[in-house]
Chains A and B, each alone.
Chain A
Amino acid sequence: MAFEIAPDCRYAENHEWICVEGDTATIGISDYAQQELTDVVYVELPEVGQSFGQGEPFAVVESVKAASDVFMPVAGEVIEVNASLEDAPEFVNDDPYGDGWFVRIRIADPGELDGLMDPDAYRAYVAAQAS
């Protein structure tokens, strides 16, 4: 299965990506994850101002088949949510690293980023999972 991996992001084991900009970051799910989910029909997002620990579920993505939790790659406070997903959940499928982003957060502990995978490590991780 062919899938894209954005070069400027880091990745968590549950297939979330995080793209860091200073002390904030944007979070979404990977191209591999959206392909595994198939068509996304609904995304339940958190409220701005909510804080989550690393690995905590912060959103729910509903595909045709089932609901799946989306987990925080690092701890942080939600400073913006992608409200356009309410009317256009298909952005998650069509543009997972762009219009399909989920939330922006203020990072609580930048040290947690070190535990995430870089694109090469994530590619190897997915290949190992798929085989």
Chain B
Amino acid sequence: MSKRTPLYAEHQALDARMTDFAGWEMPVSYPAGPLAEHARVREALGLFDLSHMGQVAVSGPDALAFLQHLATANIARIREGEAGYAPLCYADGGLVDDAFVYHLPGRYLVVVNAANAEKDLRWFDYQRSGFDVTIEDLSEQTCMLALQGPRAQEALQPLTPLPLEELGYHRVAEGQVAGAQMAIGRTGYTGEDGFELYLRAEVAVAVWRALLAAGAPLGLLPIGLAARDSLRFEPCMPLYGHELGPDITPLEAGLGWAVALKKGPFIGREALLKERLEGSARKLVGFEMTERSVPRHGMEIEIGGAICGHVTSGLYAPTLDQFLGMAYVPAEQAAVGAEIGIVIRGRTRAARIVKRPFYTPSYRR
């Protein structure tokens, strides 16, 4: 039986279409529809229930050392009040998960993918020996909401005494929103300005309603998982299970900026160092369909008559009005401008490799 977030009844009241996602019954879209929801986040404001995501608190004297051991990124650079992206690798360089790490007073909040949450906790447990850390799974008692779009600050400010103007990109603070204590990060997964909120499940309904009400005059729509996917796709933010997986390294995925090979030892460093020195065998590329059709996850890539890769994500990109995809191809065939074929229902359709990201995020800095 699928799990439900504390906001399940709210989604039902809004007439959401529900779907099973990673064992959770989640809204895939609301009556406005995925395209309208997508546009609204780009142009104004959207509210997401992301309570399926996993939250793990890591604290204790060795909290930083432990996270440095697990993550490829340099966690020491995430000072208190800051947040950062952190790929987590196996020894062979394959990805366990990709996490967002929030450095709060006295602890780190590690936010992981819903589908990986149980696996990650077991992984953390296997890796903890020798580290004086406390690892707490907060997923059950934590509700995660995202308020995203160019009008996010305008909507949120009246509900909180925190001066949001001072809460810059990838910063985090603790404070009250609509009377409820929570962690507020200026983070997101849409390519727009916005906030992610981490609060106790008991106050979720009240906060959700307060945000809906505050955002309504600014055009706020509730946003389902379908638009969440197209919103993260256009700025080419990777998704575990698609662009990322246990047989994919962060270097192949174009996440070299989050692989700090010089920070000291971490799990996967030797494999990633070797890959950095020798070059990746394959690379993640973006492509546009030059022949109209919709590329989808798992479809094969054909170059010069040979199958040499697969599509990781593909869809109609609403902001760009194009059919776009991402795919892994051999590194020597990954040049921008290269003509490739996508095998769609037995027919090879023409596409061309283009620069990533497709959509340039518009963050506040």
Which residues of A pack against B, CB within 8 Å?
38-39, 41-42, 44, 60, 62, 64-67, 86, 93
Which residues of B pack against A, CB within 8 Å?
17, 28-29, 33-35, 226-227, 230, 292-294, 296, 315-316, 323, 345
Q: Which of A39, A62, A93 contacts B294 (CB 8 A)?
A: A62
| CB atoms of A38 and B29 under 8 A apart | yes
User: Assuming the A-B contacts A42-B323, A44-B293, are A65 and B316 also in contact, with contact meaning beta carbons closer than 8 angstroms in the complex?
Assistant: no
Q: Which of B230, B293, B323 contacts A64 (CB 8 A)?
A: B230
| CB atoms of A39 and B296 under 8 A apart | no
Nearest Cβ on chain B to A65's Cβ, whole angstroms: 5
Apart from A44-B293, A64-B230, A66-B296: 6 A-B pairs, beta carbons within 8 A? A41-B316, A60-B345, A64-B227, A65-B226, A86-B292, A93-B33
Closest to B17 in A: A38
| CB atoms of A42 and B292 under 8 A apart | yes
User: Assuming the A-B contacts A41-B294, A42-B292, A44-B293, are A64 and B17 also in contact, with contact meaning beta carbons closer than 8 angstroms in the complex?
Assistant: no
| CB atoms of B28 and A67 under 8 A apart | no
| Contact partners of B316 in chain A: CB under 8 A | 41-42, 62, 64
| Contact partners of B17 in chain A: CB under 8 A | 38
User: Assuming the A-B contacts A60-B345, A64-B226, A65-B226, are A39 and B34 also in contact, with contact meaning beta carbons closer than 8 angstroms in the complex?
Assistant: yes
| Contact partners of B29 in chain A: CB under 8 A | 38, 64
| Contact partners of B28 in chain A: CB under 8 A | 38, 65
**How far, in angstroms, from A66 to B226 measured CA to CA in the complex?**
10
A64, A86, A93, most chain B CB atoms within 10 A: A64
| Contact partners of B323 in chain A: CB under 8 A | 42
| CB atoms of B34 and A67 under 8 A apart | no
| Contact partners of B296 in chain A: CB under 8 A | 66-67
User: Assuming the A-B contacts A38-B33, A38-B34, A42-B316, are A67 and B294 also in contact, with contact meaning beta carbons closer than 8 angstroms in the complex?
Assistant: yes
Nearest Cβ on chain B to A37's Cβ, whole angstroms: 10
Closest to B29 in A: A38
| CB atoms of B292 and A39 under 8 A apart | no
**How far, in angstroms, from A39 to B28 measured CA to CA in the complex?**
12
**How far, in angstroms, from A104 to B303 measured CA to CA in the complex?**
37
Closest to B33 in A: A39
Nearest Cβ on chain B to A64's Cβ, whole angstroms: 4
**How far, in angstroms, from A31 to B296 measured CA to CA in the complex?**
25
Nearest Cβ on chain B to A55's Cβ, whole angstroms: 18
Sorted from nearest, which 7 A-B pairs have the closest CB atoms?
A: A41-B316, A64-B34, A62-B294, A39-B35, A39-B33, A42-B294, A64-B226
**How far, in angstroms, from A42 to B315 measured CA to CA in the complex?**
10
Nearest Cβ on chain A to B293's Cβ, whole angstroms: 7
A44, A65, A67, most chain B CB atoms within 10 A: A65
| Contact partners of B315 in chain A: CB under 8 A | 41, 64
Closest to B294 in A: A62
| Contact partners of A64 in chain B: CB under 8 A | 29, 34-35, 226-227, 230, 315-316
**How far, in angstroms, from A44 to B35 measured CA to CA in the complex?**
20
**How far, in angstroms, from A65 to B28 measured CA to CA in the complex?**
9
Nearest Cβ on chain B to A88's Cβ, whole angstroms: 12
| Contact partners of A38 in chain B: CB under 8 A | 17, 28-29, 33-34, 226
Interchain Cβ contacts under 8 Å between A and B, 17 examples: A38-B17, A38-B29, A38-B33, A38-B34, A39-B35, A41-B294, A41-B315, A42-B292, A42-B294, A42-B316, A42-B323, A44-B293, A60-B345, A64-B227, A64-B315, A66-B296, A67-B294
Q: Which of B34, B226, B293 contacts A42 (CB 8 A)?
A: B293
**How far, in angstroms, from A35 to B275 measured CA to CA in the complex?**
48
Closest to A41 in B: B316
Closest to A87 in B: B292
| Contact partners of A42 in chain B: CB under 8 A | 292-294, 316, 323
| Contact partners of A93 in chain B: CB under 8 A | 33
| Contact partners of B294 in chain A: CB under 8 A | 41-42, 62, 67
**How far, in angstroms, from A64 to B318 measured CA to CA in the complex?**
9
| CB atoms of B345 and A65 under 8 A apart | no
Nearest Cβ on chain A to B343's Cβ, whole angstroms: 14
Nearest Cβ on chain B to A58's Cβ, whole angstroms: 13
Closest to A57 in B: B345
Nearest Cβ on chain B to A117's Cβ, whole angstroms: 24
Closest to A69 in B: B345
Nearest Cβ on chain A to B289's Cβ, whole angstroms: 10
**How far, in angstroms, from A126 to B34 measured CA to CA in the complex?**
23
**How far, in angstroms, from A39 to B29 measured CA to CA in the complex?**
10
